[in-house]
A = this chain, B = another copy of it.
Amino acid sequence: MREQYRGELAGLSEHMVEMTRLVGSAIARATRALLDADLALAESVIAADESVDALQAEIEEKSLELLARQQPVATELRAIVTGLRMTADLERMGDLARHVAKLARLKYPDSAIPAELRSTMIEMGQIAERIVAKTGSVIATRDVTAAMELEVDDDAMDGLHREVFRLLLGPHWTHGVEAAVDVTLCGRYYERFADHAVSVARRVTFLVTGERAPLAGASPLGGTGPA
Please list the residues of chain A having a beta carbon within 8 angstroms of any beta carbon in chain B.
53-54, 56-57, 60-61, 63-64, 67-68, 71, 73-74, 77-78, 81, 84-85, 88, 91-92, 95, 165, 168-169, 173, 176-178, 180-181, 184-185, 188, 217-221, 224-225, 227
Contact = CB atoms under 8 A, between A and B. Distances in A.
B184 A92 contact: no
Dominant secondary structure of chain A at its interface with chain B = helix
Contact of A60 (B63, B176, B221): B221
B85 A77 contact: no
Contacts of A185: 184, 188
- Chain B CB within 10 A, most for which of A61, A63, A68, A95: A68
B54 A218 contact: yes
Nearest to A49: B224
24 contacts: A53-B217, A54-B218, A56-B224, A57-B217, A60-B219, A64-B77, A64-B221, A68-B73, A71-B71, A81-B81, A85-B85, A85-B88, A88-B88, A88-B225, A91-B219, A91-B225, A92-B225, A176-B177, A177-B180, A180-B180, A181-B184, A184-B184, A184-B185, A188-B188
